[in-house]
Amino acid sequence: MGALARSTTRYPMLEPRFKYTRAFCTEEEIALAERAQQFVEQEIMPYRHDLEGGWHRDEKLALSTLHRLYAKCADLGLTKSNLPEKYGGLGLSPVVRQMINEELSRGDIGLATMVGKIHWIVSFMLAAKRDDLLQEFAPRLVGADAWTACVAITEPAGGANLEDPALEYRTVRTIARLEGDEYVLNGHKIWPGPAGPAYRFQSEHLKGHLGYWTVATTDPNLGEEGIGLFYVPPDAPGLTFSSPYEKMGFSWTDENVDIWYENVRIPKRYRIDTQPGEGARIVRGYVIGLGRLAGAARLTGLSQATLEIVLGWAQQREIAGTPMRERSMFAGMLGEMFRAIDLSRQYYLSVTWQVMHPELYGPPWSHEMIAKFSAARSFAGDTAEMVTNRAMEMMGSMGYAYESHVEKYMRDFKIVKMWLGGAQRDRLDIAQGLYGPFRWAGFDEWLATQQARA
Ligand SMILES: Cc1cc2nc3c(=O)[nH]c(=O)nc-3n(C[C@H](O)[C@H](O)[C@H](O)COP(=O)(O)OP(=O)(O)OC[C@H]3O[C@@H](n4cnc5c(N)ncnc54)[C@H](O)[C@@H]3O)c2cc1C
């Protein structure tokens, strides 16, 4: 055991100064990405396995490591990086945040996702121009304590349904009914994370859970007019949770549960969208679309981390007396891995830059931009699949061994490719960007039966 020492060789082509294109970012922003890279090297790399409690999945070790490292991320300002300066945040540009997202995912994609949850919820409130809610949450987002948050979308009848523009949210079964000055929520979400009873998110390093930004409809028959985003505090009466799902990766970095909403009452102002049709735009553009784009940066970071491991291996491992990396077949495999990773990176950076210019490229909820977010995520997902697979094959049994870390990256990338509708939905959404939403044969009849049941 211990045959696999972490290589200290640095590759200029994989360094922030070289890999991040200055057409999209400034020198200062590259310096921030370098700072994130150093943080990952010092604080995360040595503890990657501890984030899942080591080989024996020690829950205590996993949670204490997760909360400690997450608090360090918060301390560095990573959780407040998209909060505008007027609320005490850093107000960083989407491009540099994506670069930091990539760097953090080199260390651990689960931890990067947990940090990203805060960016996600802030982005909804910014999109809806909810100054009042941003003022309300800002003290917790910028204070000394670390908090986590969750976005609840998926329902038992199918996650990808909700992401299908042709279905116009008519299959959503979490209902928010307006009663006076309150919304009353009833429904069932599956898989949201991190979620669960409050005590799971309270420790020496984690102050607590901010709550659940929940996708719900006032009436499924209203389609896009009915859909909205509702903030549900973590301790709201009527909220119950299942125990966490046991799964292939993301063991504790994303504790996923079922959530039941039974007559959960929230003040009317906790509906994030306020304008007609705004809920549909935010869910499509910010929850789904930009969620996929963030996934592309994360998958790229994970792929690079895997490439670095196999580069180290190919340098020291000899095949019949010659270092592996000098044999043309393996050199070609490494070259292909780099090519796909750098294309994933340049594409997600370019699309992120386009998001910053809606006057040229349209808003994030347009079919065209959704197509690009989906192309970025699915390409980066296919890249991660290819890179983890080939790295493992090149490393032989050592790649399969826990100590190589490649098997953990392989377990972790898969869900980032599959969530928010998955790889198949991504491809359909690319097609829909080209020629608009389309419905399946028999779709309208099926929808009518669904509506009759609602
Ligand atoms: C670790 C983890 C974290 C998660 N985090 C969250 C979270 O924070 N919040 C949340 O709400 N959910 C979360 N999820 C759930 C996840 O987003 C969904 O599981 C995912 O969107 C897919 O939904 P589904 O499982 O219901 O699959 P289905 O909807 O049953 O889809 C199954 C397959 O069919 C394909 N498919 C479906 N419809 C079509 C169609 N019309 N045409 C072609 N192909 C189609 C899909 O692409 C997929 O490949 C998480 C899941 C995991 C495992």
- How many domains does the chain divide into? 3
CATH number assigned to the domain comprising residue 262: 2.40.110.10
Same domain, 163 and 133: no
Block residue for tokens 């859909």: 227
Rounded to the nearest 10 degrees, the angle between the axes of helix 406-418 and helix 290-316 is 160
Q: Is the CB of 415 under 6 A from ligand 1?
A: yes
Ligand 1: distance of its center to the CA of 190 in Å? 10
What's the domain range around 103? 16-147
* Domain co-membership, 414 together with 290: yes
**Is 30 inside a domain boundary?**
yes
Task: Give yes or no: residues 405 and 284 share one domain.
Answer: yes
Q: Are residues 219 and 360 in the same domain?
A: no
For the Cβ of 230 lying below 6 angstroms from any atom of ligand 1, the answer is no
Question: Does residue 207 share a domain with residue 239?
Answer: yes
> The CATH number of the domain where 354 resides is what?
1.20.140.10
| Average confidence (pLDDT) over 283-291 | 97
256 in contact with ligand 1, CB cutoff 6 A: yes
CA–centroid distance, 421 to ligand 1, in Å, is 5
Provide the whole-model pTM. Answer: 0.97
In 3D, which of 373, 336, 367 has the Cα closest to residue 352? 373
Look at residue 286 and tell me if it is in a domain.
Answer: yes
Residue 3 has pLDDT above 70, yes or no: no
pLDDT of residue 451: 72
- Ligand 1 close to Cβ of residue 428 (< 6 A): yes
Residue 441 pLDDT: 76
Cα–Cα distance for residue pair 88/389, rounded to 1 Å: 43
Q: Is residue 443 part of a domain?
A: no
Label residue 157 by pLDDT band (50, 70, 90): confident
Region class of 396: left (phi > 0), else alpha (psi between -120 and 50), else beta:
left
Q: What is the pLDDT of residues 173-228, one digit of tens each?
A: 999 999 999 999 999 999 999 999 999 999 999 999 999 999 999 999 999 999 99
- Domain assignment of residue 354, yes or no: yes
Mean predicted lDDT score pLDDT of the chain: 95
Specify the residue for token string 């020496």. Answer: 204
Q: What is the pLDDT of residues 441-451, one digit of tens each?
A: 787 888 788 77
Whether residue 253 sits in one domain with residue 180: yes
The token duo for 120 is 């996600």
Residue 454 inside a domain? The answer is no
116 lines ligand 1 (CB under 6 A): no
Residue range 420-449: mean pLDDT, rounded: 87
CATH, residue 72: 1.10.540.10
